[in-house]
Structure 1
Amino acid sequence: MSMAAYDEIADWYETEFLARPRAGTGDGHPLGLDVLLDDLLGEGSGTCLEIGCGTGVHADRLRALGWTPVGVDLSGGMLRHARDRLPVAQADAGRLPVRDGSLPAVVAVMVHTDMPRYPEVLREAARVLRPGGVFVHIGVHPCFCGGFADRGDLDAVVIRPGYLDGHWTKASWTDKGVRDKVGATHRPLPELLHAFLDAGLTLDQFAESGAPTPAVLAIKGAKSR
């Protein structure tokens, strides 16, 4: 995903897309993200780095849990809206401007499909975490969302060929969301989980949200003590 892709839609994303009522559709920010942050990240203290913070819409929830949110994103257009919500830096998630072993918590919320090199991002998250630190991934469900998934009828999601392909696409069941504008990188579930293990993260907890077919998969990992 290029930086310019989100720069071009940043104002629309902030003023129109985020203002819409949300359903468990897998396109954008489905309902249930706050619950997933509550359950997997939980209450804590100290700095929590949000990778791909976008316009900073999750900062308030992180503060409510006791954390001090700090965000990084590649898009200056998105960060223009985020700066009033949390301290931010413009940076590549694959090269975080953070020293080794310095953070108690890192989160990535609804961004992994925007990051073609997500395994590198996971390695960076593990690098900056202190021993025992936690990483929470919340993302569109790899099995039920993507260019292969037609969610036009939420009572009967149709899974077409393409799940195993693992490619970038702008294909989307709707032209009202984000994916038809900036595209998405898809990874099948085993490939995604192996990327966590390859980064040296221990998998601790999993959760899904969205009904009747899950739209979101959440994973909690920890850095070995």
Structure 2
Amino acid sequence: MGSLKSNDHDVPEEQMAPMAAYDEIADWYETEFLARTPGDGHPLSLGALLRDLLGEGEGEGSDGDTCLEIGCGTGVHAALVRELGWTPVGIDLSERMLRHARGRLPVAQADAERLPMRDESVPAVIAMMVHTDMPGYPAVLREATRVLQPGGTFVHIGVHPSFCGGFADFSDREAVVIRPGYLDSGYWTKESWTNKGVRDKVGAMHRPLPELLHAFLDAGLQLDRFAEGGAPTPLVLAVRATKPQPTGTAPA
């Protein structure tokens, strides 16, 4: 089982803004935003995607079944991770979000670009709706690869880069209009189609789909499966990737 430890590294300046923003909205997120969500703790009903891509662990409490959630927020996905037979642990930058998470799973306040875990220490890592919060997501993927055991699973579930962002006009949900801006890379915006969600409050980083997928490959992950969620236009893109076994090593 991977162990969490304290992290003495300074938080990068580009990550301070989202951390502070989530500190400011933590109570609203827990008491208002989540209160109007389905049972899986998210308005986009992510449970089915996570269940399908993460799969079953060996049973909570058994050796080697730890599932690390990067950017766990208030820990709303921990119950499903346990139901699937994994032992959830989480990290997040926002102390105020973690105040709500501590009753749901073991947590540590840490920078996702410097995970406080040993090399090859966990069999599974998940990132749920957080890549747009992380300007350094390619570095986060490299860290996830570092802490994963060979053959371990990484599950990314995030807003769909092709259909969600400041460039997307959702005035008509049956006919979403993609304005100029999708092809631009690496910009931060608070522009959102609704003032009742998270993005207009904390902003989001945009990367086009090819750039996002290349970041997985550049981190050394092998892409295994893909899924989309939301209708009639996909709002969520899910990816399952694996850390390859060393060459010449048979799977355990």
- Tell me which interval the TM-score lies in, with the shorter structure as reference length: over 0.9
Query: Which one-letter code corresponds to 2:30 in the other structure?
Result: E
Q: Does 1:109 align with 2:138?
A: no
Q: What corresponds to 1:33 in structure 2?
A: 46
Q: What corresponds to 1:18 in structure 2?
A: 34
Q: What corresponds to 1:188 in structure 2?
A: 208
**1:149 Cα offset (Å):** 0.7
Describe the SS at the equivalent of 1:13: helix
Q: What corresponds to 2:92 in structure 1?
A: 73
Describe the SS at the equivalent of 1:18: helix
Query: Which one-letter code corresponds to 2:29 in the other structure?
Result: Y
Higher relative contact order (CA 8 A, sep 6+): 1
For the aligned residues, what is the CA RMSD?
Answer: 1.2
The structure 1 segments of at least 4 consecutive aligned residues displaced by more than 4 Å after TM superposition are none
Which piece of structure 1 moves more, 166-175 or 190-199? 166-175
Describe the SS at the equivalent of 2:35: coil
Q: Does 1:137 align with 2:156?
A: yes
Q: What corresponds to 1:95 in structure 2?
A: 114
Conserved in 2, the CA contact under 8 Å of 1:208 and 1:215?
Answer: yes
Question: C-alpha separation between the residues in 1 aligned to 2:182 and 2:42?
Answer: 21
Question: C-alpha separation between the residues in 1 aligned to 2:165 and 2:56?
Answer: 32
**1:139 Cα offset (Å):** 0.1
**1:31 Cα offset (Å):** 2.9
Normalised by the length of structure 2, the TM-score is 0.85
Query: Which one-letter code corresponds to 2:32 in the other structure?
Result: E
Question: C-alpha separation between the residues in 1 aligned to 2:210 and 2:55?
Answer: 26
User: Among residues 62, 85, 90, which one is paired with 2:104 in the alignment?
Assistant: 85
User: Among residues 242, 249, 252, which one is paired with 1:222 in the alignment?
Assistant: 242
Which piece of structure 1 moves more, 187-196 or 40-49? 40-49
Q: What corresponds to 2:143 in structure 1?
A: 124
Conserved in 2, the CA contact under 8 Å of 1:30 and 1:216?
Answer: no
What residue ranges of structure 1 are gaps of 5+ in the alignment? 23-27
**1:151 Cα offset (Å):** 1.8
Instruction: Name the larger-Rg structure.
Output: 2
Conserved in 2, the CA contact under 8 Å of 1:30 and 1:215?
Answer: no
- Cα distance change of structure 1 residues 68 and 21 upon mapping to structure 2, 3 Å threshold: closer
Query: Which one-letter code corresponds to 2:146 in the other structure?
Result: R
Conserved in 2, the CA contact under 8 Å of 1:48 and 1:70?
Answer: yes
**1:173 Cα offset (Å):** 0.9
